[in-house]
Structure 1
Amino acid sequence: MSIEKMNSGLLILAEMEASLPPSERKIAQYILKHPAEAIKMTAIDIGKQSHTSSAAVIRLCKSLNLSGIQELKLRIAGDLQSEKIDVRDIEPNEPLESIIDKITNHSMQILRETADLIDQKELKHAVDAILNAKRIFFFGVGASAIAAMDAYQKFVRINKYCMFFTDTHLGATAVVNAEEGDVVVGISFSGETHEVAKVLEIANGVNATTISLTRYGNSLIASLADICLYTSPKVEATFRSGATSSRLAQLHVLDILFMCVATSTYEETIEYLDKTRTVIKTLHEKVGKRRITYS
C-alpha cells in the first residue's frame, strides 16, 4: 500500500481493542482518545503517556498485523486527513433525496474502508491459490450466500471448476471429498457463523486450502482459514440490518479477487468471457438443427 493511501488505523484499533492484552489495550485507548497527538510521538512517548512501555507499543503493532509504529501512525494520519462522511439511519417519512444521499454515503464509506483493510500479501496468496486450484468451493449462508453465488457465477465464466453451497449438508458432503489443491472459501460477515466454521473445519481435515472472508478482527472463521480476507467491520444500522452494507463489502472483495485472477491470465480470460457472451446470445435465438460450435 502506498504511503499516501494509508489509513484505517483508528478503525483497526477500535475493532481490536477489546481482544488486546491489558497493556496493549491501554495504548489503543490512549491513541483513540488522542490520535492527533499520538502521530507526533515516538514509541517511547506513547508508552509513557499510556503508562505502559515502548515494548508494549511494538507488541501492539504486531498484534494489529502492522509493520511497526510508523505504519500505525501513517494510517492514523490518513484517517485524520480523510473527509468525514455523516452516516445516519433513515427516519420516518424521510424524503427520497435524503435516503439516496444517506445510502450512497454509507456505501462509499464501506467500500473505502474495506479497500483500506485489504492485506495485499494475503490477497496475493488467495489469487495464487485460486489460480492453481483444481476445484473451488464457495460457501455462505443467509446474506453471505448471495456473495457466494456471485463469486461462483464470475469464476465459472472463466472456466474455473467451481461450486457454491448455501445448504450445510450439501456443502459438507462436497467439501469432505475435496483434495489437496482444492480451495474452499468460507464467507461470513460476523466470522462466527457455525455452519461456515464447520465447512472450513472439514476442509482443513482433507488438506484443502481454506480462505475466509469476514469482518475485520479476530473471529472463529478467520482462525480456521489458511488465508484471511476482510471487509469493514462497521455494524449495520437498524434499517440496514438486512446486511446491505456487509453484502456490498463482500462483493467488493470478491470482485477484486476475481479481477486479480483475471489479469494474471488475461488472454485466456478474454477468450473465455467472449465465448460465454457468445453462448448467452444464442440462448435468445430460435432453436434449430444446425450444430453450433464455440471453439
Structure 2
Amino acid sequence: MANTTGGLVMLKEMLSSLPPSEKKIATYIISHPDETLSLTANELGKRSATSGAAVIRLCKSLNLKGFPELKLRLAGDLQKTTVEGIHDIKPNESATSIINKMTNNSILTLRETIELLSKEQLEKAVDVLINAERIHFIGVGASSIIAQDAQQKFLRINKTAYAFADIHMATTLVATAKANDVVVGISFSGETPEIAKVLEIANEKQAHTISLTKYGQSIVSDQAEIKLYTSATKEPTFRSAATLSRMAQLHVIDILFMCVASARYDETVKHIDETRKAVHYLKTGKK
C-alpha cells in the first residue's frame, strides 16, 4: 500500500532538479494543492501551461505510480495537523526554548522520513538482509557513526556485519564481496563520491546494494539496487554532527533491524538473550 502523505515534501525537494515543464507543474501544485485534488492530469497540464503527458512524467520523476498516487499523498498532506518548520537556535537561548525547538525539529524530520520511505523498497532491503552472508555498512564522517550503530545491532542477532571507519579498509573488504553479500551505502547528501564508488565495486561483484540518502536522485542512489530515503529537511545553520540527518538515518536503520528481527523472531530472541547474558557476565562475573 502506498504512503498517504509526503506529496508536498517530494515536490519541494525535487523542484530545483526537475525539467522545465515538470517544474512548472510542481510549482503550480505547491501553490494550489487543494485545487489540484479535483483536477485530471490533462486539466492540471492546461492550468500549468504544460500537458497531461508532462504531469505523468512528473509522477515518474517522483517515483510514484501515477497521478492518483500523487493526489492521494497531497490529500493526506492537507489533512495533517500543522507542525512548525525547522528552527535554528539563537544566542543565549533558554534551555526550555532549545528543548522545544529540538523536539519539534526531530518530530518533523521523522514524520517526513516515514512519508518518503517506500514500503516496497524497504521489504526488498529486509529480504536481502535476512539472506545475507555478510553485511557491509559504509559511511563517511557523521554517516560512519550510523554504519557503526547498524553493525552493532545486526551483530547482536548473529549476522556477520562490518562497519569500518577507514574507507580504504571498507573498500578492501567489499572488493571480495560475494553475490549473497549486502553493501549498504549511507550518505545524507547522496553525493559522497567514496560511497558511490564502493557501491559501484559491490555491483561489479554482483552483491546486493542498498543506498540510504536524502530524497532525490544522487550519485549514491544511482549505484544502488535498493533505494531508501530519509527526510531531505535542511539542517539548521548552527548544528552539531548533522543532528537531524543523523536522527533520520538512525530511524531507518532501527526500522530495518526490527523488520529483520521480526521476520526471524524466535532466532532473534535467542541471540539477544545470549548477547545480553555475555555482557552481564563481563559486568558482574556472574553467568
Which category describes the TM-score, using the shorter chain as reference length? over 0.9
When the two structures are superposed, what TM-score results if normalisation uses the length of structure 1? 0.94
Deviation by residue 1:139-163 (Cα, 9 ceiling, x = unmatched): 1011101110000000000000111
What CA RMSD, in Å, does the superposition of the two structures yield over aligned residues?
A: 1.3
What residue in structure 2 maps to residue 154 of structure 1? Answer: 153
Q: Distance in 2 between matches of 1:169 and 1:124?
A: 30
Deviates more, 1:210-219 or 1:61-70: 61-70
Q: Distance in 2 between matches of 1:37 and 1:56?
A: 18
Q: Distance in 2 between matches of 1:74 and 1:285?
A: 55
Specify the SS of the correspondent of 1:284: helix
What residue in structure 2 maps to residue 89 of structure 1? Answer: 88
User: 1:56-75 to 2 correspondence within 5 Å?
Assistant: 56-75=54-73
Q: Distance in 2 between matches of 1:56 and 1:108?
A: 34
Amino acid at match of 1:281: H
When residues 196 and 98 of structure 1 are mapped into structure 2, their CA distance, relative to the original with a 3 A threshold, is same
Larger radius of gyration: 1
Structure 2 runs not aligned, ≥5 long:
none
What residue in structure 1 maps to residue 9 of structure 2? Answer: 11
What residue in structure 2 maps to residue 166 of structure 1? Answer: 165
Q: Distance in 1 between matches of 2:257 and 2:277?
A: 21
1:41 to 39, 42, 45: 39
Q: Distance in 2 between matches of 1:25 and 1:92?
A: 38
Q: Distance in 2 between matches of 1:286 and 1:168?
A: 37
User: 1:1-295 to 2 correspondence within 5 Å?
Assistant: 1=1, 6-86=4-84, 87-240=86-239, 242-286=241-285
Deviates more, 1:73-82 or 1:111-120: 73-82
Deviates more, 1:36-45 or 1:181-190: 36-45
Offset, 1:284: 1.6
Q: Distance in 1 between matches of 2:200 and 2:220?
A: 9
Offset, 1:240: 2.0
Offset, 1:286: 3.7
Q: Distance in 2 between matches of 1:50 and 1:182?
A: 47
Offset, 1:23: 1.5
Specify the SS of the correspondent of 2:283: coil
Q: Distance in 1 between matches of 2:247 and 2:205?
A: 31
Q: Distance in 2 between matches of 1:241 and 1:187?
A: 18
Q: Distance in 2 between matches of 1:67 and 1:177?
A: 37
Q: Distance in 2 between matches of 1:185 and 1:248?
A: 17
Moved beyond 4 Å, runs of 4+: none
Deviates more, 1:82-91 or 1:268-277: 82-91
Offset, 1:199: 1.1
Specify the SS of the correspondent of 1:186: strand
Amino acid at match of 1:68: G
Deviates more, 1:63-72 or 1:126-135: 63-72
Q: Distance in 2 between matches of 1:108 and 1:282?
A: 38
When the two structures are superposed, what TM-score results if normalisation uses the length of structure 2? 0.96
Q: Distance in 1 between matches of 2:285 and 2:75?
A: 61
Specify the SS of the correspondent of 1:217: coil
Offset, 1:280: 0.8
Q: Determine what percentage of the aligned residue pairs are the same residue.
A: 57
Deviates more, 1:53-62 or 1:100-109: 53-62
**Number of aligned pairs?**
286
Deviates more, 1:68-77 or 1:94-103: 68-77
Amino acid at match of 1:22: P
Deviation by residue 1:64-102 (Cα, 9 ceiling, x = unmatched): 111211111111122122222223111111111110000
Offset, 1:242: 2.7
